[in-house]
Amino acid sequence: MNEADAGTTPIRPLVAGNWKMNGLKAALSEALAVDEALAEAGQAVGADVMICPPATMVMVLSELSGKGGLQVGGQDCHANSSGAHTGDVAPEMLADAGAIAVIVGHSERRADHGETDRIVHEKVLAAHRAGLTAIVCVGETIGQRQAGLTLDVVARQLSGSIPDGVTAENVIVAYEPVWAIGTGLTPGTDDVEQVHGMIREHLSGRFGEEGRRIRILYGGSVKPSNAVELMGITNVNGALVGGASLMAKDFLGIVEAYRG
């Protein structure tokens, strides 16, 4: 368990699974197995655990899970609450379906859909309007890292994507180096500590005590074999997990890093 680095307030970590565009009905059993395992473990798990399935599964997962406290989130939302936006999902719809959070600004959305910091900023506000916690993703590309621009890029994404006045309850930051996503590569622990430290400074500088309590997740090739090391880094308050969240066994192996 990470304590807030100001040293006073404990931060409850979050292990969140991002299923991306994966998950047919048959995959429900994996998510429900996670919920079952959480129910069995009870207080022994010192972290919140969430799965963000595709939008098609948010309602059914919300309705069937919860025994073990499994939380359900969406993967993206539109900034509007309704209207002529074919194929999009409003945050109000996710909330109505039982989600308590939504990922915004994932690098795959930024790359595939041209999402800018300004758009992500609007989505964070929209998530809050609907009562959802926004999980705001930031992270540099390999080119940016090699050019020594990591801290600048992440700082700019934080400034542009996170609106003023947010709280530790309605925002979570996920640092996901683009080059670490789905590649099996992870930054060194010093690199993670440096970026998370900068993110913490940014958040506490802007939001004071709230900023000291906002959770900062690490994402990018987290798996059971590296979870203990990554989750033990200062200012890492949990994980955003892609591939390894699809199977209950792997995902629970990561949650295990927080077993007391």
The residues annotated with a catalytic role in the active site are: 106, 176
- Calpha distance 205→194 (Å, rounded): 16
Six token digits for residue 108: 């795959």
4 vs 94, beta carbon nearer ligand 13P: 94
Question: How crowded is the C-beta side of 104, counted as CA atoms within 13 Å?
Answer: 36
Smallest distance from ligand 13P to CB 103, Å: 7
Q: Which residue is nearest to ligand 13P (CB)?
A: 242
Write out the residues near ligand 13P by the rule CB under 6 A.
18, 106, 176, 181-182, 219-222, 240-244
Give, in order, the Cα–Cα distances in Å from 177 to each of 15, 27, 76, 78, 98.
17, 27, 19, 24, 29
Six token digits for residue 174: 């996920």
Phi, psi of 142 (to 5 degrees): -65, -40
Smallest distance from ligand 13P to CB 214, Å: 18
Smallest distance from ligand 13P to CB 86, Å: 25
214 vs 222, beta carbon nearer ligand 13P: 222
Task: Tell me which residue has tokens 């050019």.
Answer: 147
Smallest distance from ligand 13P to CB 106, Å: 6
Give, in order, the Cα–Cα distances in Å from 209 to each of 117, 165, 199.
24, 12, 14
- Calpha distance 18→73 (Å, rounded): 9
75 vs 204, beta carbon nearer ligand 13P: 75
Question: How crowded is the C-beta side of 180, counted as CA atoms within 13 Å?
Answer: 20
Smallest distance from ligand 13P to CB 89, Å: 17
- Calpha distance 111→115 (Å, rounded): 7
182 vs 232, beta carbon nearer ligand 13P: 182
Six token digits for residue 134: 């926004």
179 vs 207, beta carbon nearer ligand 13P: 179
212 vs 215, beta carbon nearer ligand 13P: 215
Contact 176, 138 (CB under 8 A): yes
Smallest distance from ligand 13P to CB 225, Å: 13
Contact 223, 250 (CB under 8 A): yes
